[in-house]
Amino acid sequence: MQSADTDIQPAENIQSINPNESPAIEPETVSNPAKPLFQSVSITFVKEGKEAIASDGANLRIKAIETGIDLYTFGGKMMNCGGYGQCGTCIVEIVEGADNLSPRTDFENRKLKKKPATYRLACQALVHGAVSVKTKP
């Protein structure tokens, strides 16, 4: 067995570091500040006149329930899937900011086939920017 010490080569081009010299700051670093760790988005519930602040990527159904918004009609209250994208009772209309939501899921495409393009299932939509929502359209 060969010793590992024989493979070690002396390092070349090592420059000494002077602690009194500050490293040059690249202009890109200054003009491109780090993205904040927490980004908030606003959700406006038009019919109810309420606004909720959520974190980026929040689930629209969960945030609506937390805000005290009633998403479901009578039938939906009696039988809904609890947010698993199976019943289609959490339909909302996106009045503004549809581009700020996650893309429609396959289930939404099937369930909302005959509905306007502005309709979404709240349980399937993730919020990434300001949106205005009309419940029970």
Q: Name the site residues for ligand FES (rule: CB under 6 A).
A: 80-81, 83, 85-90, 121, 123
Task: Return the residue nearest ligand FES (CB atom).
Answer: 123
Please give the Cα distance from 136 to 35 (Å, whole number): 36
Q: What contacts 45, CB < 8 A, 6 or more positions away?
A: 51, 52, 64, 67, 69, 133, 134, 135
Shortest Cβ distance from residue 80 to ligand FES (Å)?
A: 5
Cβ 100 to ligand FES shortest distance, Å: 19
C-alpha distance from residue 58 to each of 27, 61, 95, 122 (Å) = 35, 9, 18, 11
Of 28 and 106, CB closest to ligand FES: 106
CB of 26 to ligand FES, least distance (A): 48
